[in-house]
Chains A and B, each alone.
Chain A
Amino acid sequence: MAREKDYGNPSLEAKLKDRYYYSDDTNRDFTKEVEKIGRTIAHMCYQCGTCTGSCPSAPRSSYRIRLFMRRAVLGLEEEALTDPDLWLCTTCYSCTDRCPRDIAPTDVIMAMRNLAARRDIVPRNFLKTVQAIYTTGHGVPNNDVNRAARVKLGMDAEPPTTCGFPEYIEGIKAIIDHYGLKDRADKILSEGE
Chain B
Amino acid sequence: MHEYAFFLGCIAPNRYPGCEASAIKTSEKVGIKLLPLCGASCCPAPGAFGSIDLNIWYAMAARNVVLAEQMDRDIALICNGCYKSIYEVNHILKHNDELRDGVNEVLKEIDMEYKGSIDVWHLAELYYDPKICGVDKIRESVSRPLTGTKIAVHYGCHLMKPRKERHFGDTDHPMWIEELVAALGAEPVQYRNKMQCCGAGGGVRGFDLEHSLDITNEKMINLQEVGADALTEVCPFCQLQYDRGQVEIEEKFGIKYGLPVLHFNELLGLAQGMSPDELALDLHAVDVTPFLEKIL
State whether the Cβ of B109 lies closer than 8 Å to any Cβ in chain A: yes
Give chain A residues whose Cβ lies under 8 Å from the Cβ of B148: none
Given known A-B contacts A139-B45, A172-B41, A117 and B52 have beta carbons under 8 A apart: yes
Residues on A with C-beta less than 8 A from B54 are 37, 110-111, 114
Chain A residues contacting B37 (CB-CB under 8 Å) are 160-161
Separation of A73 and B163 alpha carbons in the complex (Å): 24
The answer to whether A149 and B204 touch across the interface, beta carbons within 8 angstroms, is: no
Could you tell me the distance in whole angstroms from the C-beta of A34 to the nearest C-beta in chain B?
12
Kindly supply a per-residue 1/0 record for chain A positions 99-120, scoring 1 wherever the CB is within 8 Å of any chain B CB and 0 otherwise: 0001010100011011001000
Shortest distance in angstroms between B166's beta carbon and chain A's nearest beta carbon? 10
Query: What's the least CB distance linking A149 to chain B, in Å?
Result: 5
A94 touches B161 (CB 8 A): yes
Contacts of B39 in A (CB 8 A): 160-162, 165, 167-168
- The chain A residue with its CB closest to the CB of B45 is A139
A-B contact count (CB 8 A): 215
Task: Give Cα A174–Cα B63 distance, bound, in whole angstroms.
Answer: 11
Supposing A88-B211, A125-B207, A171-B63 touch, asked if A155 and B17 sit within 8 A by C-beta, the answer is: yes
Find chain A residues with CB under 8 A from B13 CB. 142, 150, 159, 161, 163
Number of B residues contacting the other chain (C-beta, 8 Å)? 67
Closest chain A residue, CB of each to CB of B282? A149
Q: Which of B41, B53, B63, B164 contacts A179 (CB 8 A)?
A: B53
A97 to B18 alpha-carbon distance, docked (Å): 33
CB of A87 within 8 A of CB of B203, answer yes
Neighbouring A residues of B38 by C-beta, 8 Å: 160-161, 164-165, 168
With both chains docked as a complex, state the minimum distance between the C-beta of A171 and any C-beta of chain B, in angstroms. 4
CB nearest neighbor in A for B7: A161
User: B interface vs A, CB < 8 Å?
Assistant: 8, 10-11, 13-15, 17-18, 20-21, 36-42, 44-56, 59-60, 63, 106-107, 109-110, 112, 157-158, 161-164, 171, 195-197, 199-204, 206-208, 211-212, 214-215, 218, 277-278, 280, 282-283
